Structure 1
Amino acid sequence: MRRINRKLRKMAADLLDLPQDVVMDLPRLTMIGDRQLYIENHRGVLHFSSDKLRLALSKGELEVTGSDLVIRTIWTEEVFVEGIIKNIEVRE
């Protein structure tokens, strides 16, 4: 059933020319070099330290590792992080 629902959402996104992150509830990442990262559509902060950020997603987690990480801005579904970003990993 989930697979059918996902396919219908993807078809609707393609047909209506909508961004898939909106229709399928996916995270959107915008990265500027290795110094800034803007993350949309997260479900909350699970862990934060100067070398690691873990965010809950609708399906899984997002982990950002680096050094001197600082959360500059945080809203309900958006986070803006600065620092030296070394790795970004999405886990289901």
Structure 2
Amino acid sequence: MAKWKHNLKTWLTRRLELPADAVMDLPRITMVGQLHIYIENHQGVLKFSNEEVRLLLKQGQLLIKGKDFMLKTILPEEILLEGKIEHVSYLERPEN
């Protein structure tokens, strides 16, 4: 059933030219060089340190690695992180 819903949302997004982040609960990630990263539509902070931030997403996790991290803004679904960003990766949730 979940795969059917996902396929329907993907089809609607393409056919109606709607923004995928709004229709499919995807994160919107905006980076300014290696200095700032702004993430919208996350579901919580799993880990925070000076060198690593891990955020929970609906479909998995977002892993951000770097140095001297500082949270400038944190809201229920938004986060602004400053520091030297060296690596950003998406970790998919394993399928059962």
For residue 70 of structure 1, what is the aligned residue in structure 2?
70
- How many pairs align? 92
Q: TM-score, normalised by structure 1?
A: 0.94
Structure 2 residue identity aligned to 1:8? L
Structure 1 residue identity aligned to 2:89? E
Instruction: List, as ranges, runs of 4+ consecutive aligned residues in structure 1 with deviation greater than 6 Å.
Output: none
Q: TM-score, normalised by structure 2?
A: 0.90
**Alpha-carbon shift at residue 22 of structure 1 (Å):** 1.1
> 2:33 and 2:62 mapped to 1: Cα distance?
19
Which secondary structure state, in structure 2, belongs to the residue aligned with residue 43 of structure 1? coil
**Superimposed CA distance per residue, residues 1-46 of structure 1 (whole angstroms, 9 cap, x where no aligned partner):** 2222111101111222211111111111000001000001100001
Which secondary structure state, in structure 1, belongs to the residue aligned with residue 30 of structure 2? strand
Which secondary structure state, in structure 1, belongs to the residue aligned with residue 64 of structure 2? strand
Structure 2 residue identity aligned to 1:66? G
What is the percent sequence identity of the aligned residues?
Answer: 43
Which segments of 5 or more consecutive residues in structure 1 lack a partner in the other structure?
A: none
For residue 33 of structure 2, what is the aligned residue in structure 1?
33
